[in-house]
Amino acid sequence: MTHLFSPLTLRGTTVRNRVWLAPMCQYSAVDGLPQDWHLAHLGAMASGGFGLLLTEATAVVPEGRITPQDTGLWSDAHTEAWARIVDFVHARGALIGTQLAHAGRKASTFRPWDERSGSVPTSEGGWIAPAPSAEPFPGYAVPAEMSRHDIDDVVLAFAAATRRALAAGFDTVEVHAAHGYLLHEFLSPLSNHRTDGYGGSLENRARLLLEVVDAVRRAWPTDRPVLVRISATDWTPGGLTVEESGVVAGWMADHGVDLVDVSSGGNVPAEIPLGPGYQVPLARAVREAAGLPVGAVGLLTTGAQAEEVLAEGSADVVLLGRAALRDPMWPLRAAAELGIEATTGGAVHDGPIAWQPQHERGAWRR
Ligand SMILES: Cc1cc2nc3c(=O)[nH]c(=O)nc-3n(C[C@H](O)[C@H](O)[C@H](O)COP(=O)(O)O)c2cc1C
């Protein structure tokens, strides 16, 4: 038995293993609709043995997209397009959640491989980004400070997108409150200078996040988990601290959140001490402070390393980003390395990890 290839049950939902795909933007949607690319990309990850896949940041409203090529869930056409992908992933034995997102002041930017960087001008299909305060992310256009009405609309949009996620067949939803996007912008004193009930104290800065969590929880079945991704620290003096994040995670647990996916940074340019597993201590700190399951992510690259993170009690699941892009078969490879026999013979719904029958002749044999 390994920790990595043990099931995890959150509420009434059991995930076959604890190697999960981190949410990763593909910047390849058209009007928010996922394309064949998304089916091929996520389909490969499901075939590779991930227990649960998280979709890329999927905007709850068009103006909540990071780039005009982000996916969304703001209309029934989006529900339908995602349902096809969800069904494909399920047929491979994996579960799938969608990361519900609003990019706040980091919305309306060029995608990474565009010749230009920074904000897309309104004259070229961009839009003015909404934010807690009218202060830009360095190098981006100045956002518009949100009114109370705008805030209420965001909460309603998260609830509506959650209902669509349910209709599309997703197993979980992850609220994106990390990386300097809208909910993180509210949480951090570096980007939130409001003087109303949504700014100032930690309780006020966390108000919008908890309102979103409540709205999502109400729209989501009680037997399916709700996850939240946070940036546990801004890595900047005067910014959000891991101690504050532990407190907020405790509040989230009280509001029905089942697992916190612990990332960091993104709200302001900062020097981040990058290295193998560099965010694992943050996950552990949040887990200990809040007493709820957490995910660890960030430069986890080998099966032995990922197993150790779970074995030492730092986290309950690991999420892989770039290692999965390099090798969608990462979980099957790690299972072979750790001596776990993957299910064969087409029984993809049995056991912690399975070979798709079409790929079986490539199986690593002991
Ligand atoms: C291409 C790419 C797109 C990403 N998009 C998202 C995203 O949509 N939402 C998010 O929370 N994180 C996003 N991330 C961050 C990853 O989820 C992950 O936290 C990060 O890459 C660190 O993990 P890794 O070292 O395993 O890649 C993205 C990362 C990459 C490489």
Alpha carbon nearest to ligand 1 atom 30, residue: 24
Q: Whose CA is nearest to atom 14 of ligand 1?
A: 24
Annotated catalytic, 140?
no
Mutation probe of ligand 1 site: the residue of 19, 21, 25 with most atoms within 8 A of C-beta = 25
pLDDT in tens, 251-272: 999 999 999 999 999 999 999 9
From the number of C-beta atoms within 10 Å of its C-beta (0-12, 13-18, 19+), residue 3 rates as buried
Catalytic, out of 27, 140, 181, 278: 181
Q: Residue with the nearest Cα to atom 21 of ligand 1?
A: 321
pLDDT at residue 152 is higher than 90: yes
In a domain, 91, yes or no: yes
The tally of domains found in the chain comes to 1
123: which residues sit within 8 A by CB, 6+ positions away? Answer: none
**Ligand 1 center–CA 43 separation, angstroms:** 18
Whether 3 is covered by a domain: the verdict is: no
Cα separation of 294 and 281, whole Å? 11
pLDDT in tens, 195-225: 999 999 999 999 999 999 999 999 999 999 9
In a domain, 1, yes or no: no
Residue nearest to atom 22 of ligand 1 (CA): 298
CATH number at residue 88: 3.20.20.70
Q: In which band, very low, low, confident or very high, does the pLDDT at 119 lie, cut at 50, 70 and 90? A: very high
pTM across the whole model: 0.98
Domain coverage including residue 164: 8-362
pLDDT of 366 reads 61
pLDDT at 256: 98
* Model confidence at 365: pLDDT above 80: no
List of E strands, 215-338: 226-231, 259-263, 294-297, 317-320
In a domain, 183, yes or no: yes
User: Does some domain include residue 296?
Assistant: yes
354 assigned to some structural domain: yes
316 is a domain residue: yes
Q: Which of 21, 3, 18 is nearest to 326 (CA)?
A: 21
Q: Which ligand 1 atom minimizes the distance to the CA of 323?
A: 26
357 lies in a domain? Answer: yes
Q: How far is ligand 1, taken at its centre, from the CA of residue 266, in Å?
A: 11
